[in-house]
Amino acid sequence: MQKDARICIALFQQPGIYGRMHVVMQVTGRKKVCKLFAGILILTMVCWSLESYVHSSILDRLSQYENAYNPGGCRDLLLSKLIFKHRNDLGAILQKLGFTVGAELGVQQGFFAETTLKQWPGAKTYLLVDVWSEQDKYSDAANVNNAKQNNYYEQTKHRMSPFIANGVDVQICRNFTSICAKQYPAHYFDYIYVDARHDFKSVYMDLVDWWPKLKPAGIFAGHDYVSQNEGPAQSGQDWTINFDGTIDTTGTVVKGAVNKFAAEQNVTVHVSQEAWPTWAIIKPVIH
Ligand SMILES: C[S@@+](CC[C@H](N)C(=O)[O-])C[C@H]1O[C@@H](n2cnc3c(N)ncnc32)[C@H](O)[C@@H]1O
């Protein structure tokens, strides 16, 4: 039998990574290289499991304390660098906090909505806001033609169907964010994710329109905490063009709007540790 075929059969018969590596060592005779490789592999896996154990136990303890004794009290810590590494962590945080009502402004194909809801089985209501229409003065990879926009809308509905089947009240407002905001009362949402237009004026307007709709101690977050030269320019998008055709000469776009708003509200901006970072703010509880 060929040497390669013997390796493959032996590999499938041996349980566990170390067992499999052992077979490779025996058959190939390259003991040192294989041992080193197996060692690195095992060490990496131990580190991963340790990190995820620490991560989830801190998240558990903080959210238990939060929910039992001090709602809103240590939520800033929950979003600290220790916990909030990637925007995909948000769904699990919302679940731990017992949140039930969320919104996403700017949905596109519904990918992030799906990721969030998969980790948030306690969600009862999730509002999706998107105009799903090509726009003027909008230099953004998301500004595709109307045939594609209609397809994105259909894709979103399809992606949401398992959650609807599980009882989530998925609401869709196919309109501009400023118009949809008017349909919701103050303090309605536990969580709002802002990811529609990315020019300074649009982001700032979304923040001002939707902040009152968030409950105290709720999480206000959004995508792409960058300035024009931290990604948009390099990817051929010009976010310095505001929705009204004026130019954001500061070039600070999303980052500038979020920082201005946070300074006005005197709140901390938490930022995930990834390319195209997500920002997050806890709405203060006024006692
Ligand atoms: C970046 S995409 C959203 C991506 C999505 N949140 C995700 O992570 O999968 C931006 C979306 O916002 C929508 N949009 C842009 N400006 C808008 C506005 N003023 N009102 C409503 N939707 C808007 C666009 O149609 C586009 O689908």
Residues 246-257: pLDDT tens digits?
999 999 999 999
Instruction: Say yes or no: CB of residue 132 within 6 Å of ligand 1.
Output: yes
Task: Say if residue 4's pLDDT is above 60.
Answer: no
The Cα–Cα gap between 187 and 101 comes to 10
Structure confidence at residue 166 as a pLDDT band (50, 70, 90): very high
Q: Which residue has the higher pLDDT, 3 or 209?
A: 209
Task: Say if residue 153's pLDDT is above 90.
Answer: yes
The atom number, within ligand 1, closest to the CA of 196 reads 12
pLDDT tens, position by position, 169-195:
999 999 999 999 999 999 999 999 999
* Ligand 1 mean position, distance from CA 33 (Å): 50
Structure tokens at 134: 């090509």
Instruction: Say yes or no: CB of residue 198 within 6 Å of ligand 1.
Output: no
Ligand 1 atom 18 nearest Cα: 176
Portion of the chain with pLDDT greater than 90, in percent = 66
Structure confidence at residue 11 as a pLDDT band (50, 70, 90): very low
pLDDT tens, position by position, 60-88:
656 665 665 555 555 666 665 556 789 99
Structure tokens at 146: 């109307």
3-state SS of the chain is CCHHHHHHHHHHHCCCHHHHHHHHHHHHCCHHHHHHHHHHHHHHHHHHHHHHHHHHHHHHHHHHHHHHHCCCCCHHHHCCCCCCCCHHHHHHHHHHCCCCEEEEECCCCCHHHHHHHHCCCCCCEEEEECCCCCCCCCECCCCCCHHHHHHHHHHHHHHHHHHHHCCCEEEEECCCHHHHHCCCCCCCEEEEEECCCCCHHHHHHHHHHHHHHEEEEEEEEECCCCCCCCCCHHHCCECCECCCCCECCCCCHHHHHHHHHHHHHCCCCEECCCCCCCEEEECCCCC
Q: Which residue has the higher pLDDT, 4 or 230?
A: 230
**pLDDT value of residue 68:** 58
Structure confidence at residue 285 as a pLDDT band (50, 70, 90): confident
Report the pLDDT averaged over residues 269-281: 94
Structure tokens at 155: 């894709």
The Cα–Cα gap between 150 and 89 comes to 29
Report the residue among 86, 90, 104, 107 best suited for mutation to probe ligand 1: largest number of ligand atoms under 8 A from its CB. 107
Q: Which residue has the higher pLDDT, 67 or 39?
A: 39
Q: Which residue has the higher pLDDT, 146 or 217?
A: 146
The Cα–Cα gap between 43 and 180 comes to 50
**pLDDT value of residue 140:** 97
**pLDDT value of residue 84:** 77
Structure confidence at residue 117 as a pLDDT band (50, 70, 90): very high
CATH of domain 72-282: 3.40.50.150
Torsion of CA 243, 170, 89, 58, to 10 degrees: 130
**pLDDT value of residue 38:** 74
Report the pLDDT averaged over residues 98-127: 97
**pLDDT value of residue 12:** 46
Task: Say if residue 223's pLDDT is above 80.
Answer: yes
CA dihedral (76, 81, 83, 89) positive or negative: positive
The Cα–Cα gap between 7 and 48 comes to 28
Q: Using DSSP bridges, classify how beta strands 214-222 and 125-129 pair: parallel, antiparallel or unpaired.
A: unpaired
**pLDDT value of residue 41:** 79
Domain positions in the chain are: 1-69, 72-282
Instruction: Say yes or no: CB of residue 107 within 6 Å of ligand 1.
Output: yes
- By the 10 Å C-beta count (0-12 exposed, 13-18 middle, 19+ buried), 148 is classed as middle
